[in-house]
Homo-oligomer: A and B are copies of this chain.
């Protein structure tokens, strides 16, 4: 017990949890003892005593429970699990239905839930968060007062992609966006509008949902509606890869007739034919940041943006 190396259990608890008063003297003694013993507080006991919890919940917003099958959710979960494992706590995965944001509040009320990492949060979901959840929720996407957000800088990333397409001579650049209900994709769509606008080019946006299936549909839709389109920028490599496949089947030459670019730089972007030009999304780093903020209760910046770097390949 860390207690043997100094003071009483109460004092030790106070300094380790950061709450309550403690003199610098005992503060440092406890810290040293804890370090020497490699002390990790028992999450179960902490939970039982009324504070803390034994797992961080990864809550994914979406219209249907399918969002849990998205590889994106799996990557977030995996990264969060890595951070959690070091503190001997677990993670769990939950769906927050678009039509029932209160599911989030219920989740936050569960005993074992230490904190929540929100994926694809809507403002409605953020609004129903009980004050008891303050300080133990972080969002990947948009945040709110008391809910720090971590995300990729998709505005800059999108601007770079579209800038590259335009610089390469493309004049009819269409974009397959994210779902309309997802506010964190606005930055990317705005960037697209701005860049094509500044170049005096038309705005051609169709909604997407990050899936490959939707990418296939969207590509057909774009070509039907605007036959002279010479570039497609999809928010999400899955969607871009779907578009690539559909264009290939339709006999459209990529990048000859139409350039295609994605967003995320997933592993398959380097394996498709043609290989996919895209921009990076350090999901694991972002998720780890969010999980750390939740677990350590540290007051993070309201919004931490991770850079997105252009990756030029053959498709654009």
Stretch at the interface among A69-77, A140-148, A293-301: A69-77
A74 cross-chain contacts in B, Cβ below 8 A: 71, 74-75, 77-78
A267 cross-chain contacts in B, Cβ below 8 A: 71, 212, 238
Within 8 A of B (CB), among A14-54: 42-45, 47-48, 53-54
**Contacts A71-B71, A111-B44; is A85 near B92 (CB within 8 Å)?**
yes
- A218-243 contact mask (Cβ, 8 Å, vs B): 1 or 0: 00000000000000000000100110
Q: Across the interface, do A111 and B88 meet the contact criterion of CB distance under 8 Å?
A: yes
Chain B residue nearest to A275 (CB atoms) is B245
Complex Cα spacing A267 to B42, Å? 40
A71 cross-chain contacts in B, Cβ below 8 A: 71, 74, 267
Q: What is the oligomeric copy number?
A: 2
> Which of B44, B68, B69, B73 is the one whose CB lies under 8 Å from A112?
B44
A212 cross-chain contacts in B, Cβ below 8 A: 267, 270-271
Could you say which interface size class chain A belongs to?
Answer: 35 or more
A68 cross-chain contacts in B, Cβ below 8 A: 78, 82
Query: Can you list the 8 inter-chain pairs with the closest CB atoms, starting with the nearest?
Result: A90-B90, A55-B90, A54-B54, A44-B47, A74-B74, A81-B93, A273-B273, A44-B44
Could you tell me the distance in whole angstroms from the C-beta of A156 to the nearest C-beta in chain B? 26
Is A132 an interface position by the 8 A CB rule? Answer: no
A270 cross-chain contacts in B, Cβ below 8 A: 212, 245
Is A91 an interface position by the 8 A CB rule? Answer: yes
- A263-301 contact mask (Cβ, 8 Å, vs B): 1 or 0: 000011011110000000000000000000000000000
Q: Across the interface, do A90 and B89 meet the contact criterion of CB distance under 8 Å?
A: yes
Could you tell me the distance in whole angstroms from the C-beta of A97 to the nearest C-beta in chain B? 15
Is A248 an interface position by the 8 A CB rule? Answer: yes
A273 cross-chain contacts in B, Cβ below 8 A: 245, 248, 272-273
Pick the most buried of A69, A90, A272: most chain B CB atoms within 10 A of its CB.
Answer: A90
